[in-house]
Structure 1
Amino acid sequence: MSPMTSDSGRTVTPLVDLHGRSAWSVLPPLILGFFMIMVDTTIVNIAIPTLTEAFSASLVEVGWVNSAYLLTYATLMLLSGRLGDRYGQKAIFVAGLVVFTVFSFLCGFSGELGSTPEIRWLIAFRALQGVGAALMTPQTMSMITRVFPPQQRGAAMGLWGATAGVATIAGPLLGGVLVETVGWEWIFYVNIPVGVVALWLAGGRLPHLAHRESTIDVLGVVLSVLGVGLVVFGLQEGSTYDWGHLWGPFTVWNTVGLGLAVVAAFVWWQHRRGDEALLPLRLFRHRNFSLANVDGMAVSFAMIAIFFPLTIFLQSVLGLTPIQAALVMAPGSLVSGVVAPFAGRLSDRVPGKWVVAAGFAAIGGAVAWLALTLDPDGPPWQLLAPMALFGVGTGLTFSPLSNLATSGLDARTAGAGAGAFNTTRQVGGVIGSAAVVALLSSRLGVTIPAAAQDVAQRLPEQYRQTFVDGITAAAGSADSASAGSFQPPDGMPDAVAAQVAAAAQEAVGRGFADAAAQSLVMVVVVLVVGVVCAALMSSGRPPADAAGGPADPEPAVAADPGPGR
């Protein structure tokens, strides 16, 4: 193998023989693929009103356009990681990239199927697009782990983390521009040229890494997909069914309970299977891996739980357009994209756990700042500073945390570890979404009526109770963030009706701001847990067998030079 020179002038020996190429040459296809995946987790949200009209569908049906993608994405990553260990990360990544690109085209084309557009086609194609995303994501992390030497791995993970930061803001902004100009179909068609370029780069730059010859744990696959799928479905769709009855004998909570029971059976079976398991439990003997999984859940929980109430506040309370709302949140993702590469390099020089702890502390500070800043009468620009601090925190967190999660894994378990980390991260986001919807809805039922009582004192006495009763009846859900849900009674004089409408707007705005601030307190608590878990991690760099098994006897893997090299 040819040595490489690091930025500090040190000679670095690559873990994989790339036939004279730098390890950095493998990043472009991985980054492009990961960018598409992250963009597609957010880009559809901006098009929900348009899709509702285009398909003549209900909000619940259109909600499944995103839910179907996230459900298959979350439930299959654990299997995908193990498939990478078994058949090679390049093969699974390329297969996922093909699936993702093909079904991106079919998602955009779904409106042309049949004489009348049917939302079920788009939902089905989005679910299959999620399969492609699940196949790709663990391979990006495990290939970085196997190709880059420890001295450069943090910097590489920094670029991986920066991709996530930029993509989170690119999704809403790009989606808003495409929907308002060329049509909703292009939020999917835009993936096609990116996917083709990524495929071309993957064919020439990704190495064929040695893989593990073993059988697939079929029962483990069934148990993991079923268990995680039931838990994710129950939490993801709980608010849609008002946390009550689903169908037949199933309620939301016994569906989640059944999923947890299946997950417990999965864990027992993995213990029985040992190293042949879909998820070798010896991975969790490595303290950093276990704590990094908890932190991965925490940071995803926080991000979803922040953006949900903030997006509603900006659009429904402050009256911003989707693009304007995305611009208010832009500093968070832009700063994250700038900070993440530096954080990755920093974690190569100082213990990564302190970089992660600082990141969680910064996110916690930003969330507390937001909770104190939410004001229905305040200018939107006052949210830019806390969002910038939020970006600093996420930039410090993602890449060092990913590096800590995988740094103790050898070639045999890199895929399984990456799959587990990404699965727990995705499940954390689902839990965060469910928790913030439930808590926000609960607090709205208290804060909006309380604000209505205060505001009503300025109305004519004969209309006060009617006003309070009307506002109270409309409170208790995210939809109540719009004052349009309250209608003045018939026969009210025009001047009084205008006064009542203004009072309703004020009550709803104040009530929603209070409820959102109280919901963000929950996020701060979760972030404190993240700081504690980061502080408890090991400071040293683990040996190759830190995950509880012998080191890979041949860490230097010959790469297939591919055609034309």
Structure 2
Amino acid sequence: MTTAPSALASPAAPMSKQRGPHTVLWTFLASSFALFMAGLDNLVVTTALPSIKEDLGAGLSELEWTVNAYTLSFAVLLMLGAALGDRFGRRKVFASGIAVFTLASALAAIAPSTGGLIAARAIQGAGAAAILPLSLTILTRAVPAEKRPVALGLWGGVNGLSVALGPLVGGAIVEHGSWQWIFWLNVPLGLILVPLTLFKVEESHGPSKRLDLVGTTLVSLGMLGVVFGLVRGHGDGWAAPHIVGALAVGVALIAAFVAYENRTAEPMLPMTMFKDRAFTALTFSGLLMFAGVFGSIFLLTQYFQGVQGYSPLGAGLRILPWTAMPVIVAPLAGPLAAKIGGRPLVIAGLAMSATGLAWFALVASPHVTYAEQIPALVLCGLGMSLYFIPTASLLMSVVKPEQQGVASGTNNAMRELGGVFGVAVLASVFSANGGFVSAQNFVDGLVPALWVGAALAAVGSLTAALIPTRRTPAAAAPADADASAKVPVAA
């Protein structure tokens, strides 16, 4: 293992002398439960899609937007959420994000139509955009340096567990109640977390003094144009003028965003960060991981119900070999990452995810037995666990202290955008080759889509292999002394 006083190192006083154990515990609980709540809603709705389709008369495009409205607003506002926390106070913005998320959950539960549900999901994503990056920054500041690798490993495990448990929780709720309760579930938790955060989490600020509203607008509209084109392209025709126009305008706005960020004095996303090979490899491997896995789960949860004939809860239970893996692997992967570094685990995790999705593609049929699917489920679960658990610690070890917030926001934004693209692209492949006419027709579309998902995860594994095997200590002293630590880097 190579351990260096990386970007988080500092001669600051030990954290354990600055904060008592109770403060650390309350901070960990607030950041972890809020993260779990926001992460769960990434996929909790997937098992409920057939029920939403029947209840609200939604088509495939509306179902895609039910998922993508959340992940899209989540992704494009993540960096803004981190910037707002740096300027106005991380605790304050974190608590505000929880409040917005809670209110939007209630609005989703009472939505009378798919349009209302999609709008509420978009507001949920905006609240989650303040929760996720700030939860990592708040936790990093609160935990003593010597315990930080373990804490960040647990944080990554909670993130992975929340995503993995989404289908099971959604299935259980829909089975014994209605799809609306997947949103009502967030309300009491949010009402507890807001005061817990305000009274038990310490306030902190970052170095940012100005909000990059131009950059936020450019990237938000650009991603909206690209995702709109991808989601609607398979239904309206790829040559349709509004589809071509949406894609062209989206790409142009993203290019304008990159050009603007390179010129402005205080960019939301410093493009110089991408000159660091480790940061770039981590960021794009995450995008590819989410694209392959999220897109596949979007279709597989419908496959288990529509083709295999399981109830929502039955579908969630049968995905348990996948969803239970983070619970089993986290206690082992955390210490292993501290010994050998996160890089090997991230590479292996992506490779296992690719292998599991390929296995699904090989065995998928209307009449395949559940036993034949278990190895694929286990491989996908192992892959997701090994990817999620070391990622946070690895990311924090390759950026300067003053860039922690924006690095977390950027990395998570790219992963969420990967999920959006994965759902859009794999749904397009599915529609081009199959549909909902019959069980065989669904499988005809599912198989090529799963192969695309496996290919995306495999390319992600190759991308992760570009992370340098050794890191040198960062030169810059931290802007925030409380962010100091020694974090194990890639072995």
TM-score by length of 2: 0.87
1:428 aligned onto 2:358: no
Partner of 1:219: 214
* Correspondence for 1:389 among 367, 370, 379: 379
Please state how far the C-alpha of 1:544 moved relative to its aligned partner.
4.2
Letter in 1 for 2:280: S
* Correspondence for 1:250 among 230, 242, 259: 242
* Correspondence for 1:176 among 138, 159, 171: 171
Change (3 A) 1:289 1:62: closer
Tell me which moved more, 347-356 or 223-232: 223-232
1:478 aligned onto 2:403: no
Letter in 2 for 1:528: A
Change (3 A) 1:388 1:420: same
Letter in 2 for 1:479: F
Partner of 1:45: 46
String of CA shifts for 1:338-397, please: whole Å, max 9, x gaps.
Answer: 213432332222121111112122222222322333243331132122211211111111
Please state how far the C-alpha of 1:280 moved relative to its aligned partner.
1.3
**In 2, are the aligned partners of 1:165 and 1:337 still within 8 Å (CA)?**
no
String of CA shifts for 1:481-532, please: whole Å, max 9, x gaps.
Answer: x25xxxxxxxxxxxxxxxxxxxxxxxx2xx6546534433333332332222
* Correspondence for 1:555 among 461, 481, 487: 481
- The 2-side partners of 1:38 and 1:525 are apart by 24
Partner of 2:467: 537
Letter in 2 for 1:250: H
- The 2-side partners of 1:305 and 1:145 are apart by 31
- The 2-side partners of 1:330 and 1:416 are apart by 34
- The 2-side partners of 1:528 and 1:557 are apart by 34
Partner of 1:331: 321
Partner of 1:70: 71
String of CA shifts for 1:198-248, please: whole Å, max 9, x gaps.
Answer: 223322332212322511122212212222222233224433434453xxx
String of CA shifts for 1:167-194, please: whole Å, max 9, x gaps.
Answer: 2343333333333433333221110111
**In 1, are the aligned partners of 2:348 and 2:383 still within 8 Å (CA)?**
yes
Partner of 1:456: none
String of CA shifts for 1:276-330, please: whole Å, max 9, x gaps.
Answer: 1111122222221111011111110121232234334323332222222222211
**In 1, are the aligned partners of 2:227 and 2:424 still within 8 Å (CA)?**
no
Letter in 2 for 1:216: L
Aligned residue runs from structure 1 range 280-295, under 5 A: 280-295=270-285
Change (3 A) 1:557 1:335: closer
Letter in 2 for 1:438: S
**Aligned sequence identity (%):** 32
- The 2-side partners of 1:439 and 1:334 are apart by 29
- The 1-side partners of 2:427 and 2:57 are apart by 26
Change (3 A) 1:213 1:79: closer
String of CA shifts for 1:419-459, please: whole Å, max 9, x gaps.
Answer: 111111011112222222232333x3xxxxxxxxxxxxxxx
- The 2-side partners of 1:368 and 1:55 are apart by 33
- The 1-side partners of 2:56 and 2:353 are apart by 39
Partner of 1:27: 28
Please state how far the C-alpha of 1:24 moved relative to its aligned partner.
4.8
Letter in 2 for 1:256: L
Aligned residue runs from structure 1 range 334-413, under 5 A: 334-413=324-403
Please state how far the C-alpha of 1:101 moved relative to its aligned partner.
0.9
* Correspondence for 2:236 among 238, 241, 251: 241
**In 2, are the aligned partners of 1:38 and 1:168 still within 8 Å (CA)?**
yes
**In 2, are the aligned partners of 1:153 and 1:348 still within 8 Å (CA)?**
no
Change (3 A) 1:178 1:377: closer
Partner of 2:93: 92
Partner of 2:257: 266
Partner of 2:149: 154
Instruction: Report the count of equivalent residues.
Output: 472
Change (3 A) 1:84 1:211: same
Query: Which structure carries more relative contact order (alpha carbon 8 Å, separation 6+)?
Result: 2
- The 2-side partners of 1:306 and 1:64 are apart by 16
Partner of 1:472: none
* Correspondence for 1:522 among 427, 452, 462: 452
TM-score by length of 1: 0.76
Please state how far the C-alpha of 1:58 moved relative to its aligned partner.
5.6
- The 2-side partners of 1:223 and 1:257 are apart by 14
- The 2-side partners of 1:63 and 1:364 are apart by 23
**In 2, are the aligned partners of 1:104 and 1:191 still within 8 Å (CA)?**
yes
- The 1-side partners of 2:360 and 2:466 are apart by 28
Aligned residue runs from structure 1 range 176-195, under 5 A: 176-195=171-190
1:305 aligned onto 2:295: yes
Structure 1 segments (4+ residues) deviating >6 Å: none
String of CA shifts for 1:103-156, please: whole Å, max 9, x gaps.
Answer: 21232234xxxxxx4444333322222211112111122333444466543322
Change (3 A) 1:51 1:215: same
**In 2, are the aligned partners of 1:314 and 1:320 still within 8 Å (CA)?**
yes
State the structure with more CA Rg: 1
Tell me which moved more, 374-383 or 290-299: 374-383
**In 1, are the aligned partners of 2:399 and 2:407 still within 8 Å (CA)?**
yes
What secondary structure is seen at the aligned counterpart in 2 of 1:378? coil
Change (3 A) 1:74 1:241: farther
Letter in 1 for 2:227: V
* Correspondence for 1:321 among 311, 320, 333: 311
